[in-house]
Amino acid sequence: MPPAAPPPTRFLLIAAAPAEAMAILRGLGQPEGDPPAPWTLSQAGARFDLLLCGVGKANASGATALLFDPARHCGALSLGVAGALPGSGLEIGDAVLATQSIYTDEGAATPEGFSDMASMGFPPIEPSSDDAIPGDTPMGVGPDPDLFKRLRPLTEATGPIATVSTCSGTDALAEATAARVNAIAEAMEGAAIGFTLRRRALSDPLPQLVPFAELRVISNTTGDRGRQKWDLRLALTRLSEITAQLAGALADEDR
């Protein structure tokens, strides 16, 4: 019988936009250069691979399904920037760790209000109580508890992060997004990555949940586009600073 393969030790870091990917590489001390090619793995030091997935749910899901390798990767992080939603109290430059990554605008708009896909009988994954973790809901993915504990000291805030296809460029949409899922920030990939990893695990011969978390830095406010406040440079600098601390936060001790 051949010897058992060693357990995977690398984390897959998933970014949507080239600027986010470059900020992550700077944080990991990688040489300056062109952004990585989309939908390819880029080694980023001893512990990390970087995946530039592209913006949006379809890109995030497809790239994750293609390139997450359970023989190579021990977990995955969705990293990038986000918009602060009304009532969050978040400042530009604050780092947010998701307590849930939630599909927020999959469903139907009706005269009675919005109905999400789960309430219509089409949840992203068939419900199961056997392997659920805290934060899992019919439309949301919770973070791995150990990852959450390790990453929490790197951030200013925790709370639900809405995964949307339409960003909130009006006050009405920003308020509706915040109220619908009690989210404090919005981005465009987290839930797609989390649910893809859940489904990928369920399809393996020996199912095992993939440790996952979403961490974002606030780059802008939401609401009426002309009144939004932005500082993308500050957010990307902060993203680099946090990424530089990941190796220590995810050290093997006590794993």
Q: Establish if 73 belongs to a structural domain.
A: yes
SS (HEC) of 54-98: CCCHHHHHHHHHHHCCCCCEEEEEEEEEEEECCCCCCCCCCEEEE
For residue 216, list its beta bridge partners: 80, 96
For residue 103, list its beta bridge partners: 163
Alpha-carbon distance 50 to 36, whole Å?
8
The bridge status of strand 95-103 relative to strand 41-43 is unpaired
Q: Determine the pLDDT at residue 253.
A: 45
Q: Establish if 151 belongs to a structural domain.
A: yes
Q: Express each pLDDT in 116-136 by its tens digit.
A: 999 999 998 876 555 567 778
Alpha-carbon distance 238 to 240, whole Å?
5
Alpha-carbon distance 238 to 10, whole Å?
23
192 is in which domain, residue-wise? 10-249
Alpha-carbon distance 79 to 149, whole Å?
16
Q: What mean pLDDT do residues 167-196 have?
A: 97
Q: Establish if 161 belongs to a structural domain.
A: yes
For residue 44, list its beta bridge partners: none
| Residue 7 pLDDT exceeds 90 | no
Q: Determine the pLDDT at residue 128.
A: 58
Q: Determine the pLDDT at residue 251.
A: 83
Q: What mean pLDDT do residues 202-207 have?
A: 62
Q: Determine the pLDDT at residue 31.
A: 87
Length of the chain: 255
Q: Establish if 1 belongs to a structural domain.
A: no
DSSP character at residue 152: G
User: 93: phi > 0 → left, psi -120 to 50 → alpha, else beta; which?
Assistant: left
What's the total number of domains in the chain? 1
Q: Establish if 110 belongs to a structural domain.
A: yes
Q: Establish if 254 belongs to a structural domain.
A: no
Q: Establish if 4 belongs to a structural domain.
A: no
Can you read off the two tokens belonging to residue 197?
A: 């990893």
pTM: 0.94
Q: Establish if 189 belongs to a structural domain.
A: yes
| Residue 192 pLDDT exceeds 90 | yes
Q: What mean pLDDT do residues 79-92 have?
A: 98
Radius of gyration of the chain, Cα coordinates, nearest whole angstrom? 18
SS3 216: strand
| Residue 1 pLDDT exceeds 70 | no
CATH number at residue 93: 3.40.50.1580
| Residue 166 pLDDT exceeds 90 | yes
